[in-house]
Structure 1
Amino acid sequence: MSITTQRRFASALRDGDLPVPAGLVSWNTAQPPRRFDVYRNNVISGLIGAIVSRFPVAERITGAEFFAAMAHEFVLFHPPRSPLLLSYGDDFGDFVESFEPAQEIPYLPDVIRLEAARGRAYHAADAAPMVAEMLASVSAEQTAGLTFSPHPSLSALRSEHPAVTIWAMNAGEMAFGPIEDWRGEDALVVRPQMIVEVHRLPPGGAVFLNALAQGATLAAAAGEALSLAADFDLSANLAGALQAGAFTGLSTGADDE
């Protein structure tokens, strides 16, 4: 099958208004258009099902009917690029952010991003988290230049909304109730052992962890977090990250010399 034919076939799968690709035949030569319609419906339904299964909290927030319609629009314009559907929908939050009917739920994209991070963490490689005692061998002079190896499952997310609390309430992790302090919440998603964990981070936590994950030194990461969150607490953030299992190791710089 030529590349052009493959593209026409893929386009017709996503758009019911397009004709059946030219030259299509079925094994018994009976009504290829009808068989193609069945196949097309199965493909679309299967992809919608994959999105629904990956984002159950978002579905609970919007309701099943609205979510299915939203997922259908996503599937039509964002087909999977891999036969493995483990990462399909990683960009669903970005789609929902610009999806006009969902604009009345401004926190929904961030809740979806949190769920996507949980899915990535679940399928990430296993790795033993570092223990806090490893810091005991670091001298005071070396502390500022420390770099950390992020756990393979780590994601740190920022939100202008209380996304962690909203997710937790709708995931059954905490009781429903009014959210009186409607401030943004940073989230750490990690799977240090067998279970994916979601942690609400202190102010500046996501900026700090993302900087460390990208190779910044401890001093540089702290400075970046402090520039965006005046109440950033280095000790609290570092201790919390270590306790959560966010890192697998550290380097003083001298290790590479």
Structure 2
Amino acid sequence: MTPENLSRQYATAFAPGLIDPAIAAPEDLVAASGKRVAKRYNVYRNNVTVSLIDALAAIYPAIQRITGVEFFRAMARFHVRATPPVSPLLFEYGRDFPTFIESYEYAREMPWLADTARIERAWLDAYHAADLPVLATEALGDIEPASLAGLRFRPHPAARIVRSIYPAVAIFVMNRTDGPVSPLRSNEPEDALVTRPEQDVIVSRLPAGGATFLIALLAGASLGEAVAAAFEETSSFDLQANMAGMISAGVFSAIQHGD
């Protein structure tokens, strides 16, 4: 057996118990003379769990602030045991944590918590997205009016949209700072636009129809198709305001003509 296969076989036996405390230390595990193998393995297992919980706390600081440290770490521990990491990069961990929150029994009194976590995850993904210049404000100036409906846009790698039936944007924003939390005065649904036009990630609340409009454009629809979808959702859709907003927020990196 090659060294690579031996290493893979050893990892297969060693790794599962690092997440699941019900799994005993591997039988062929050895330690230095006089050392208790099971005890040392349990210490290592605890260190791995704590490291993953710490990673979740770093990825979701607003969620931890909302729930409190003790509640968050207890919830995160259940998630860690149910969901081992699949990447060596810790910032990649916890992508399904928002979905886990939805099913977590003790978070049911905070139904908006999962969507707030989705915005927080989108913030981190936008932060780590590839760098590309954003579409310039004057890019539409030379386009013939008759050609506008057929335009298609190339998404910027950092652009993300999170839809919510809760005021998740306001909850996210007020809990990403160290200052006092103001009373929430709205129960209206809020769709989040997450972008990084320069160095800083920006989270904005989209106006009526804005999420449907941008989701269509991000999926490759023409401008005319996206506008039709937005108006189908709401007659109050403001095309001019949404166009100006998407350009200034850096949602797209390039523009192209349709067929």
The normalised TM-score by structure 2 is 0.92
| Helix, strand or coil at the partner of 1:144 | helix
- The runs of 4+ residues in structure 1 deviating greater than 4 Å are 2-5
Whole-Å separation in 1 of the counterparts to 2:170 and 2:157: 24
**In the TM superposition, what is the alpha-carbon distance from 1:178 to its structure 2 partner?**
3.1
Which residue of the partner structure matches residue 102 of structure 2? 97
| Helix, strand or coil at the partner of 1:137 | coil
2:72 to 55, 62, 67: 67
Which residue of the partner structure matches residue 111 of structure 2? 106
The normalised TM-score by structure 1 is 0.93
Change beyond 3 A, Cα 1:2–1:194? closer
Q: Is 1:196 the counterpart of 2:201 in the alignment? A: yes
Query: Any conservation in 2 of the 1:5–1:21 contact (CA below 8 Å)?
Result: no
Q: Is 1:78 the counterpart of 2:83 in the alignment? A: yes
Q: Is 1:160 the counterpart of 2:165 in the alignment? A: yes
Whole-Å separation in 1 of the counterparts to 2:154 and 2:115: 26
Which residue of the partner structure matches residue 237 of structure 1? 242
Whole-Å separation in 1 of the counterparts to 2:103 and 2:233: 26
**In the TM superposition, what is the alpha-carbon distance from 1:174 to its structure 2 partner?**
8.4
Deviation digits for residues 152-180 of structure 1 (CA, Å, limit 9, x no counterpart): 11101111011111111112398633333
5+ unaligned residues in a row in structure 1: which ranges? none
Change beyond 3 A, Cα 1:44–1:71? same
1:135 to 140, 145, 158: 140
Percent identity for Structure 1 against Structure 2: 44
1:144-223 equivalences under 5 Å are 144-172=149-177, 176-223=181-228
Which residue of the partner structure matches residue 6 of structure 1? 11
Which residue of the partner structure matches residue 231 of structure 2? 226
Change beyond 3 A, Cα 1:239–1:42? same
Bigger shift: residues 98-107 or 11-20? 11-20
Query: Any conservation in 1 of the 2:222–2:258 contact (CA below 8 Å)?
Result: no
**In the TM superposition, what is the alpha-carbon distance from 1:83 to its structure 2 partner?**
0.4
Bigger shift: residues 82-91 or 224-233? 224-233
Query: Any conservation in 1 of the 2:213–2:230 contact (CA below 8 Å)?
Result: yes
